Amino acid sequence: GNRTFTMIKPDAVGENNIGAITKMIEEGGFRIVSMKMTKLSEERAGQFYAVHKERPFFKDLVEYMSGGHIVAMILEKDNAVEDFRKLIGATNPADAEEGTIRKMFAKSIEANAIHGSDSDENAQIEGSFFFADIEKF
């Protein structure tokens, strides 16, 4: 697949890191296809992370993800999903490698600055959660 989906999460938006993170994404070779700043309601945040609804951290995750603005993007690059997961680094910033977005900007395992789709199928589903077909050039 050549597309993935990302969100700059509320902690990173609140710290004025939209520009720095977007710069790393572009310098990593990704083309921004679609981009939108918005805010998730608790209901929409729960839908987005529905796969985690039985996890003990689900309620906290929904509160965190709906607690501030996010920046949603569809990105294009060869091998987009896998290469983007490399660029963002491990879920827990304590485990993230030097030079990754989470190593630089994440605050905790929850407030970890950025999302990246984990499969081509989910990239498609998540992109369509935020963008209409006519916004996906």
Contact footprint for Mg ion (CB under 5 A):
118
Residues in CB range of 128: below 8 A, 6 or more apart = none
Smallest gap from Cβ 61 to ligand GTP, in A, equals 5
What tokens appear for 58 in the block? Answer: 């689900």
- Please provide residue 23's backbone torsions phi and psi, each rounded to the nearest 5 degrees: -65, -45
**Is 52 noted as a catalytic residue in this protein?**
no
Sheet with 3-8: strands ordered across: 31-39, 69-76, 3-8, 114-116
Could you tell me where the DSSP H helices lie in 76-136? Answer: 80-88, 101-105, 120-130
Torsion of CA 87, 92, 97, 98, to 10 degrees: 90
Of ligand GTP, Mg ion, none, which one sits near residue 89, judging by CB under 5 to 8 A according to partner kind?
none
The reply on whether position 97 binds ligand GTP by CB under 6 A is no
Pick the stretch among 14-22, 27-35, 107-115, 128-136 that binds ligand GTP (CB under 6 A).
107-115
Q: Which of 109, 120, 124, 129 binds ligand GTP (CB under 6 A)?
A: 109
Closest distance of CB 70 from Mg ion, Å: 15
CB of 32 to Mg ion, least distance (A): 21
Q: Which residues bind ligand GTP (CB under 6 A)?
A: 52, 57, 60-61, 91, 109-110, 112, 115-116, 118
Catalytic machinery residues: 115
